[in-house]
Amino acid sequence: MQEGIFPKNLTSPIGLCSDHAGYELKEYIIGILKAEGVTYNDFGTYSEASCDYPDFAHQLGAAIDNGECELGIAICGTGNGINMTLNKHQKVRSALCWKEDIALFAKSHNNANVITLPGRIVTHEEARRILKVFFQTEFEGGRHQKRIDKIPL
Ligand code: RB5
């Protein structure tokens, strides 16, 4: 694995979104993105004031659908609500990842383009390790591509 978390050859900004329960972890991740010189679009939320995760998840989902962002990171308390919302978007394959092995297969088998983290469940160090696996694992293609092609309605 290469040093750092994020690949150096990304062709579009990484999209970010969270609700209030994911805000603190989103800010931590933004610190890593800045330190690594990776461009990102932060679709909010922008504070710990109580809010509704779909208001931000739909903005990231639209950015994936229209090609503005190729990859995204989404965070709410459990990860469930924001993940459910993102997956309503036709081009989004969002995977809720709470440990490294889930992230490994989310990318290698499902070619997930959004990683969702449960901000109230994982520590900063766990999030860092999960993100590293997700962003440094390659999609295997082959039989998995055939299955992914059957997902959109
Ligand atoms: C907010 O309290 C919490 O419900 C939300 O962050 C998320 O866990 C929903 O799925």
Q: Is residue 4 part of a domain?
A: no
Residue of 78, 83, 94 best suited for mutating to test ligand 1, as the one with most atoms within 8 Å of CB: 78
What number does the ligand 1 atom closest to the CA of 22 have? Answer: 6
Q: Separation of 52 CA from ligand 1 center, angstroms?
A: 8
Tell the residue nearest (CA) to atom 9 of ligand 1.
Answer: 81
Mean pLDDT by 10 residues, the chain (153 residues): 89 98 98 98 98 98 98 98 98 98 98 99 98 98 98 94
Q: Is residue 109 part of a domain?
A: yes
Q: Is residue 98 part of a domain?
A: yes
Q: What is the pLDDT of residue 1?
A: 73
CATH number at residue 83: 3.40.1400.10
Helices 124-136 and 20-36 pack at an angle, to 10 degrees, of: 60
Q: Is residue 111 part of a domain?
A: yes
Q: Separation of 76 CA from ligand 1 center, angstroms?
A: 6
- Whole-prediction pTM: 0.98
Q: Is residue 65 part of a domain?
A: yes
Q: What is the pLDDT of residue 42?
A: 99
Q: Give the span between the Cα atoms of 81 and 79, in whole angstroms.
A: 6
Q: Is any atom of ligand 1 closer than 6 Å to the C-beta of 54?
A: no
Q: Is residue 101 part of a domain?
A: yes
Q: Give the span between the Cα atoms of 20 and 107, in whole angstroms.
A: 27
Across 117-144, b (16+ Cβ under 10 Å) vs e yields bbbeebeeeebebbbbbbbbbeeeeeee
**For the chain, what is the domain count?**
1
Q: Residue 130 is which amino acid?
A: I
Q: Is residue 113 part of a domain?
A: yes
Distance spanning both ends of the chain, measured CA to CA: 36
User: 3-class SS at 106?
Assistant: helix
Residues labelled as active-site residues:
76, 109
Q: What is the pLDDT of residue 41?
A: 98
Which of 139, 109, 117, 151 is closest to 25 using CA atoms? 117
54 vs 46, 57, 61, 70, CA distance in Å?
14, 5, 10, 19
What is the span of the domain harbouring residue 19? 14-149
Q: Give the span between the Cα atoms of 114 and 94, in whole angstroms.
A: 4
Q: Is residue 9 part of a domain?
A: no
